[in-house]
């Protein structure tokens, strides 16, 4: 179990889960028939199953690439800890579990489940032909607030879509920063990423623009939330402000000629930002 949790980097669930919870509570606070505890559990399970399938498939598909990369050759499949066949079986089990779980949520979620899987699994192919792979990864995680909202309400709405675009730009931006580590390797292997295609300096500039878009969308989302949910107030703005401050901070940590703090910028800063924002915003909706 420990090896499989490491395979899918389970701790990285912290990035999208708070936004899923935001989407869930945006919908559930409008319900008049009690709190949907069962759906909350089902949404959490969907998040875990979909993300586990996506990460395991990425590791399975990239096993030869990871084996050739000094940074990634210690991962479970190239290191021989988990066999490729076992990893693929794990992917199929999680895909099936995801689809089955959506069946118990509502009809719309069930019908859209193959689309969601196509996006999150399809990302793993994109680095082979486009530098926009970071945007596809962002698209995959951006499904979290929309999917969780639909799970409760049974329909689309504008506000979770605004937060979905914010997540897309945020994730794409910090994934560009993370990809700086493999700029030279990607060039040698003919793989696509913004750093390998544009160079580290331009890639960091693009990352900053993506995060500027994130800031604008987060501010718009906060304003729309305060208008649609009169019970919210200063706590929601504080949550948004902390998120944006940490967004800015990660760009001070990473420079084109200094990648020593990439992991801190990638996981620690973004993890804290997401968890803090999710916790405070949900508290504001409830209290």
Residue indicated by tokens 């001070």: 252
Contacts with 190 (C-beta within 8 Å, 6 or more apart), sequence order: none
Q: Who wins on pLDDT, 257 or 109?
A: 109
Residues constituting the chain = 287
pLDDT in tens, 40-88: 999 999 999 999 999 999 999 999 999 999 999 999 999 999 999 999 9
pLDDT at 244 over 90: yes
CATH number at residue 215: 1.10.357.140
Contacts with 56 (C-beta within 8 Å, 6 or more apart), sequence order: 4, 7, 8, 87, 90, 91, 94
Spatial distance between the Cα atoms of 130 and 56, rounded to a whole number of angstroms: 21
The band of 131, judged by pLDDT with boundaries at 50, 70 and 90, is very high
Q: Who wins on pLDDT, 233 or 78?
A: 78
Among 283, 8, 6, 26, smallest CA distance to 144 is for: 26
Summary mean pLDDT of the chain = 95
Task: Please give the tally of structural domains in the chain.
Answer: 1
Write the CA distances from 146 to 32, 43, 112, 155, integer angstroms.
Answer: 20, 11, 11, 9
Spatial distance between the Cα atoms of 250 and 266, rounded to a whole number of angstroms: 8
pLDDT in tens, 175-218: 999 999 999 999 999 999 999 999 999 999 999 999 999 999 99
CA atoms within 13 A on the CB side of 57: 21
What is the pLDDT, as a whole number, of residue 162? Answer: 98
Structure tokens at 19: 């936004």
How many Cβ atoms sit within 10 Å of the Cβ of residue 231?
11
What is the pLDDT, as a whole number, of residue 76? Answer: 95
Range of the domain at 84: 2-286
- Cα of first residue to Cα of last residue in the chain, in angstroms, is 37
Q: 193-225: string of b/e by CB count within 10 Å (b at 16+)?
A: bbbbbbebeebbebbbebbebbbebbeebbeeb
Spatial distance between the Cα atoms of 276 and 183, rounded to a whole number of angstroms: 31
Spatial distance between the Cα atoms of 226 and 197, rounded to a whole number of angstroms: 41
């Amino acid at each position: 179990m420990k090896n499989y949790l490491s395979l899918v980097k389970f701790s990285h669930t912290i990035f999208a889960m708070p936004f899923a919870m935001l989407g869930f509570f945006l919908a559930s606070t409008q319900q008049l028939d009690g709190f949907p505890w069962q759906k909350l559990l089902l949404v959490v399970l969907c998040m875990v199953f979909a993300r586990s399938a996506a990460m395991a498939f990425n590791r399975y598909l990239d096993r030869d690439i990871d084996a050739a990369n000094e940074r990634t050759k210690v991962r479970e499949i190239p290191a021989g800890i988990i066999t490729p066949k076992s990893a693929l079986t794990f992917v199929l089990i999680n895909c099936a579990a995801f689809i089955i779980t959506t069946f118990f949520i509502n009809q719309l979620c069930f019908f859209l489940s193959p689309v969601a899987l196509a996006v999150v699994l399809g990302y793993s192919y994109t680095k082979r032909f486009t530098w926009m792979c970071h945007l596809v990864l962002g698209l995959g995680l951006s499904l979290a607030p929309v999917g969780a909202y639909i799970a409760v309400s049974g329909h689309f709405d504008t506000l979770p879509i605004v937060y979905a675009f914010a997540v897309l730009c945020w994730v794409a931006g910090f994934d560009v920063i993370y990809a700086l580590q493999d700029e030279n390797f990607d060039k040698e292997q003919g793989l696509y990423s913004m750093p390998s295609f544009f160079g580290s300096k331009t890639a960091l500039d693009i990352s900053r623009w993506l995060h500027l878009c994130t800031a604008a969308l987060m501010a718009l989302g906060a304003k729309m939330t305060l208008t649609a949910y009169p019970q919210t107030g200063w706590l929601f703005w504080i949550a948004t402000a902390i998120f944006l401050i940490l967004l800015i901070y990660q760009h001070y940590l990473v420079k084109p000629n200094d990648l020593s703090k990439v992991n801190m910028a990638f996981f620690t800063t973004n993890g804290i930002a997401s968890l803090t924002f999710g916790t405070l915003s949900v508290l504001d909706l409830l209290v």
